[in-house]
Amino acid sequence: MSFYDSTVPAYIQILGSLSGLLSKAEAHCEVKKIAPEVLLGARLYPDMLPLSRQIQLACDFAAKGCARLSHSDVPSTPDTETSFAELRQRLAKTVDYLKTFTPAQFEGAESRDVTFPSGPNTTLTLKGQEFVNRVSFPNFYFHAAIAHGILRHNGVEIGKRDFLGVA
């Protein structure tokens, strides 16, 4: 399996599932007469980020991860989304961006140096495989899973198959 095949499709699958989760969340708000901003601002715990930020970060870890692995320009996306529709649009744009990558851009990426921010004023450099395994995938899946958890905790009828995008 190529390094491309082990990364890009995984990001695309979960970003698609997050879009589906947001559609179910929006429908839940309509049925239950919940203001969308209440659910978009929901957190699992007071010191955690809200649902909207979890979606934004999942998008960022996918897009920036692929850019860093392919040594492409790292995109910068402002976090301005305030509605379900805007978040679904961000997810769609991220998927479109990921689809611009080719397997050739990932050839040798597993052993390529990847430098990324590791704090406000510091960077860290890891080999591509280590970057994916220790940074990009764990952070991506964390934020996607927290988004799922926030929705589930707030009564949206979703499960594991929804998270995987196979419901």
For 111-139, give one letter per residue: b (16+ CB within 10 A) or e: ebebeeeeeeeeeeebebbebbeebbbeb
The pLDDT, as a whole number, for residue 134 is 97
- The C-alpha atoms of residue 109 and residue 128 are separated, in whole angstroms, by 5
pLDDT per position as a tens digit, 118-137 = 999 999 999 999 999 999 99
Within 8 A by CB and 6+ apart from 102, the residues are 4
The pLDDT, as a whole number, for residue 15 is 98
Local structure of 108: helix, strand or coil: coil
What does the radius of gyration of the chain's CA atoms come to, in whole angstroms? Answer: 16
pLDDT per position as a tens digit, 61-111 = 999 999 999 999 999 999 999 999 999 999 999 999 999 999 999 999 999
Kind and range of the H or E element at 117? Answer: strand 113-119
The pLDDT, as a whole number, for residue 161 is 97
The number of CA neighbours under 13 Å toward the Cβ of 89 is 9
pLDDT per position as a tens digit, 23-49 = 999 999 999 999 999 999 999 999 999
**Number of Cβ atoms within 10 Å of the Cβ of 72:** 15
Backbone angles phi, psi at 126, to 5 degrees: -130, 160
Own/partner contacts of 103-106, CB < 8 Å, gap of 24 or more, are: 103/2, 103/4, 103/5, 105/4, 105/70, 105/72, 106/2, 106/3, 106/4, 106/7, 106/8, 106/69, 106/70
pLDDT band at 167 (very low <50, low <70, confident <90, very high): confident
- The C-alpha atoms of residue 34 and residue 26 are separated, in whole angstroms, by 9
